[in-house]
Structure 1
Amino acid sequence: MSRYYHDCKNNIGRPVKIVTRDGKVHRGMIERVNNTHVFLKPMSSNLGGYGYGFYRPWGFGAGLGWGVALGSIATLAFLPFFFW
């Protein structure tokens, strides 16, 4: 299991900034965590520069947000709520 699994699992509902090993930046609220991925719920208004556009309430992954592989995380930072 990834070293970030327990940090993410214990902080569901908190805003985070994740930087992956390939340099991509992901911002959102931790919605759920499984053994391989952390799922982020982006802000619906796209404030904070999430980068993936709006939150789609339909189609594949509806209601789950976007998944980031735990093994690809280089940096995990918990953000204050006023950041958004």
Structure 2
Amino acid sequence: MEAYYNCMHCMNRKVRILTRDGKVYEGKIVKVDRNNVYLETDGRRAVTTSAFVPYGYGFARRNQILTLSLFTLLAIALI
């Protein structure tokens, strides 16, 4: 429950999240529910999915939304 309240406190702010398995993620928290935190990344980190939207005659890269389980979070810090 502590991770949930910490994420809610950091909503819409840039954070660095450390998970129990040692991975580090950076981005802006855009949503939190009782099980997950949704982190908008800038696309610079290696993430398995990407999103594209039509832009003029080509495509523009959108920021990615990464879903992390609240149960795997070890630490969260504002950046």
TM-score, structure 1 normalization: 0.70
Q: How does 1:54-73 map to 2 (within 5 A)?
A: 55-57=50-52, 65-73=65-73
Ranges in structure 1 where 5+ consecutive residues have no aligned partner: 80-84
1:51 CA drift (Å): 3.0
For the pair shown, which has the larger CA radius of gyration, 1 or 2? Answer: 2
Ranges in structure 2 where 5+ consecutive residues have no aligned partner: 54-62
1:78 CA drift (Å): 1.0
Q: SS of the residue aligned with 1:35? A: coil
What is residue 78 of structure 1 aligned with on the other side?
A: 78
Pair 1:43-2:38 in alignment: no
1:52 CA drift (Å): 1.8
Q: Percent identity?
A: 26
Count, aligned residues: 70
Runs in 1 of length 4+ with deviation above 2 angstroms? none
1:20 CA drift (Å): 0.6
Structure having the larger proportion of residues in strand: 2
Q: SS of the residue aligned with 1:28? A: strand
Q: SS of the residue aligned with 2:27? A: strand
TM-score, structure 2 normalization: 0.74
Task: Letter of the 1:70 partner, please give it.
Answer: L
What is residue 52 of structure 1 aligned with on the other side?
A: 47
Q: Decide whether aligned partners of structure 1 residues 51 and 6 sit closer, same or farther in structure 2, where only a CA change above 3 A counts.
A: same
